[in-house]
Structure 1
Amino acid sequence: MTALVQAQELFARVAGSPAAGVWSSAGRANLIGEHTDYNEGFVLPFAIQHRTYAAAATRGDGVVRVVSTFAEQPVELPVAELAATFDGPAGHAVTGGVVPEWAAYALGVAWAALAASGRAAADVPGVDIAIASDVPIGAGLSSSAAIEGAVASALDELWGLGLAPLDMARVGRRAENEAVGAPTGIMDQVSSIMGRADAATFLDCRSLETQSVDLGFAREGLSLLVIDTRVKHSHSTGGYRERREACERGAAAMGVPALRDVTVAELDRARELLDDVTFRRIRHIVTENQRVLDTVETLRAQGPRAIGDLLVASHVSMRDDFEISVPELDTAVETALAEGAVGARMTGGGFGGAAIALVDEARVDAVAEAAAAAFADRGFAAPHAFTVVPSEGARRDV
């Protein structure tokens, strides 16, 4: 059964009638540019074919009710109470036990979308939303942004909010930052909502300007293999937050608004001003920004077979300077490269999740099998390997 059908059936079971429609948004893989987004830098993600679906319809009592296939106990909140629930310290509704974390993604979108539109709670009806997804959870493929994009798309239409795609991306980011309490940037939401088939989205996280960049994977006979380590992570816990705080300290010490404003040439000065750990955190961001720019230029000038060294350098930087890799991710990258991958790196926020490998189509199975064998040899749980295809972002499906 597809996730779309799961969402429809769950909706009918809970609401007692068919949904008015089904909206979806994509997971995303990040080709390069990790932790640069909240430093106002550059990223190069793309939407993938794995999606989250929101079956939805309005209801007459002014209540937002959400249910999902991974937590079938419905969570209800009156539209009139959204602001009171989520205004205040970031994530307080989740940490205070008012709203389960999974539901805060959807209800937080409702809160942020209403605020972004300027509409009053009394102006919109209640709504039932049933969520189902085939985006792997915890694999660094942005299952959370896919929820946000699907729910934002549904509410935009059902409530007549008139939000542009970039507005919906901002809504998703606000929901994640303030309703859930996860201090992420806007890369995931932009890619999930605004992705285009066969292309990556080159995003300037300061100006929010986007450009589509042809990837050319199919033309070159290449596949992007995801090796999900099955090591679970959570962005709302400490490691991610500590890295962000180090970046903020580094920017303050360098006298700039964000690390986007520090160049590779200025790293020598940064080394003199910062302790070793903070310096290495900053060095990752500064060099990663440059790698994104170099990757875009290389893709346009030479094509995807020329970006391998940049992908590998990104992984080394995350492993050694930002220290967000884990042994399973390193094993996946090392094995893929040993099996002839053009390039490989961990992707996502780190501390688990997935690695990506750019591989000749004919070598996909061999690389996946080698990774499984390497994991077994080292006593790790078996990874889950699958290919992802650059795909379109948010849409109405039914």
Structure 2
Amino acid sequence: MTSWYGIAKGAADAATPGLQGIDGASIMPAIQEIFSWVRTGSSEIFLLAGIAFLVFLALVAIKSWVVGLLRRLEHRARWIETTRLAISRTSLAVLLLASFTIVINGAAPPAILAQTFRLLFTIVMVLQAAAWAQTILVGLLEIKGAQAEDASALNLFRSLLTGIIWTIAILTLLANLGVNITGLIAGLGIGGIAIGFAAQGILGDLFAAFAILLDKPFKRGDTITYEPGQLGRVEEIGVKSTRLRALNGELVVVPNARLLSASLANFAEFERRRVVQPFGVIYETSPELLERIPKEIEAIVGTVPRASFDRCHFVNFGAYSLDFELVFFVESPELVEMLTARQQVLLGIVRRFADLGISFAYPVQVEMVAGPDGKVIDPRAADLGGGATALAGARQRP
């Protein structure tokens, strides 16, 4: 029949590094040392227990005070709320073991008792550190992804991050318990490399989705250029691809990695729209009217809601027109509002030019001919006189 001594010896042989210095032959003397310490130092033990309990109460009070302070400040920033949640999830077991470990380390108890407390404190602290890391990192991820309408990517990254944190925590815990994890880490590394090579396209899109979630170059509802000359509205940001609704109405599915590597233009980030409108008037316009045109147009732009005048200048002598350039802003990011404001400005210009007798230029070609005397004859003249007769005579010559 197996004796209690054999059980104790087996447990000691499988002990962790903190207990590896105690073999089966010394376990019973160690236990006897503990009993002897309890019998002879009961007053010291009660004193240590009281001090440890007071330290525990102080730590609990400090925790409650910090949590209350952060709760009053958490409306200022989301990271304060995340920090409060992490501190509030501090286990009472951690505080209790920390209190007793602090006191015991200064009281020279039996070696096996001190090592046992250190071992328990290490186990609990590793688990508590993993809980803190999960709360803080997942909280920061949720802060960055607060405006992400598609929750599938956020949920996936939350699960991946949680899995990574607890895997590291378990490996750390096994290493502290004396388990050789070198082979396990090597196996995980080789497996990870093999999976990475086999699914590098999928993983590339996955990490691109993670970058889109955190960096937010665009979000659902934004209108972006995803290729040169290709415009579309973002309908869904998925784990592997992003779905865009093109202007023609078709649904375009673009891999996240390809979309992230392209140069994007996000039209949703407009605060206001700039309108550049060239126009031309005929060469017969008088200098007085040409000088008056910029002031007249500035007044027209000033009557249009949400439109602000920038400049209007006579910029060029064109092939068939005197060219002007008008620039104004529409204080709205919406395309339809900009088009409506531009329409009102253009209609105002047409009406005002009609009142002033200013004609818009359009492509025309005028041929000037000469009579027998070499003088140029303008065919647009209403009364050509002798020049026309001379021209007619010239045309009748054989």
User: TM-score when scaled to structure 1?
Assistant: 0.21
Larger Rg: 2
Structure with bigger helix share is: 2
Structure with bigger strand share is: 1
The structure whose RCO (Cα within 8 Å, separation 6+) is larger is: 1
